[in-house]
Amino acid sequence: MKTLAALLLALMIWGLGLLAFTGRVDQSTPPPEPPISDGVVALTGASTLRLEAATRLLEEGKGQRPGTMKAMNPAPPAPSSLPPRAPADRAAA
């Protein structure tokens, strides 16, 4: 019975914390507008959301020039595509 009471108390505390958090989120202010910059850079990749956001910033006059950065491939290259390695210096041996 004590375990059940402790569990109910913990759930009540968690629920009150959740309600307090949601109240603060509703009252929080939006982030400030970004300052006007020389350019807008967007990382490319599988999603077009970053490019759409960068285009929107350019249309709103938040940047003067567009720019993109190509995303890195997370997979390493195949061993056959790597350049040959130089032999290690073994003078210390």
pLDDT digits (tens, 9 = 90+) for 44-90: 777 788 888 888 888 888 887 777 666 555 665 565 655 566 665 55
CA distance 8 to 73: 49
Q: Which residue reads 């006059």 in tokens? A: 61
Say whether pLDDT at 92 is over 60: no
Residue recorded with tokens 């997370």: 74
Token pair 């006007």 is found at 36
Q: What is the pTM of this model?
A: 0.40
**Rounded to the nearest 5°, which phi and psi values hold at 32?**
-70, 155
Q: What is the pLDDT of residue 48?
A: 81
Please, are residues 42 and 50 in contact by the beta-carbon 8 Å criterion? Answer: yes
Euclidean distance between the first and the last CA atom of the chain, given in angstroms as a whole number = 72
**Domain layout of the chain by residue ranges:** 36-71
Question: For 3-25, how does the pLDDT look when each residue is reduced to its tens digit (9 = 90+)?
Answer: 999 999 999 999 999 999 988 88
